[in-house]
Amino acid sequence: MICILCKKHTNDVITKELRGGEKLPVFYCKRCDIGMLGQELSGEELKKYYAGKYRKIASPRLGFATNPKELFETAIPFQQDRVRLLKKHLGKNRRLLEVGCSAGMFLWHIRKYVKEAIGIDYDSRSAKFAARKCGCKTYDKDIERTDLEKKSFDIICAFQTLEHVKNPVDFIARYKKYLKPGGVMAIEVPNLRDALVYAYDLPNHKKFFYHISHTWYFSQKSLQKLMKQSGFRGEVFHIQDYNIFNHINWIINDKPQPSFSPGLASPVVNFRKNIELKIKSEISRFVIKMDESYKNKLSDLKITSNIFYIGRIK
């Protein structure tokens, strides 16, 4: 396998089996700290996969196909880290483009902070839903086939998108053309050094983490290298979205929760119906504080679930 960043050959393999049971290798470049799916699917194969099996893999409810309305309603409460990290770059004179906007969960939050927010998503149902829900213009085709002008955006975002694309170098180069001079690009991807796959010995999670829709697996090093090669200067933030109860579930059971919402929300303790308020309050405060401390520690160790890059054109 030839590394897309250093262009050198590697035979190192992270895994030979993916989430759906597919027997495909994920190669690893030690020089760049990047994982690469060993087989490229054809356009027709990808279209069939995203229309069918992917809707269950990427669903809020494990094993059940999802739809734009469910995606929006489930993920809308969990956009605060993205908004927080981008806030200083926003303004009422700024235009923002989100690539891979899905059903508009981020657009819904960010629209009030900018002059105009626009979305692109190849899933036409999600793009149309986002436009109706957020009152934003959206497209379901390649940016070159839209009426959007080059050098017209102050900020371009791609959240949980870069790991899916055929060629991340080409992807960044394409969208860079639509940024104004000195414009900002924000990228969020799953972290190759996620604690559940990097620190803990969880064989089932290892299969769960690697799946056929993710062609690339970035670390801080590889993401920064990609963006530097692409002409950006910026920094990486480590974001832990899943809570400590989600990790305890994996550590004890080595299997996912039925729905991702409890794992993304603040951890909740189920108390007996008539338990005293003092007990409920103090234990709940302790659990929330413990969760915050755990997430901060994972961030300090750089083994969070996601990495978030913000950079400007050099």
pLDDT tens, position by position, 74-94: 999 999 999 999 999 999 999
- Strand order across the 179-190 sheet: 137-139, 114-120, 91-99, 153-159, 179-190, 306-313, 232-239
- Residue 117's nearest CA partner among 160, 51, 109 is 109
Residues of the chain with pLDDT under 50: none
Q: Which residue has the tokens 């603040």?
A: 266
Residue 38 has what pLDDT? 86
Distance CA 62, CA 310 (A): 31
Residue 50 has what pLDDT? 55
Residues in a beta bridge with 307: 189, 238
What architecture (CATH level 2) is domain 46-159?
Answer: 3-Layer(aba) Sandwich (3.40)
Residue 56 has what pLDDT? 60
Residue 20 has what pLDDT? 84
In sequence order, what are the residues at sequence separation of 6 or more whose Cβ sits closer than 8 angstroms to the Cβ of residue 193? 219, 220, 302, 303
* Annotated domain spans of the chain: 46-159, 244-299
Residue 213 has what pLDDT? 86
Distance CA 258, CA 63 (A): 8
pLDDT tens, position by position, 115-160: 999 999 998 999 999 999 999 999 999 999 999 999 999 999 999 9
Both tokens of residue 211?
A: 């799946």
pTM attached to this predicted model: 0.93
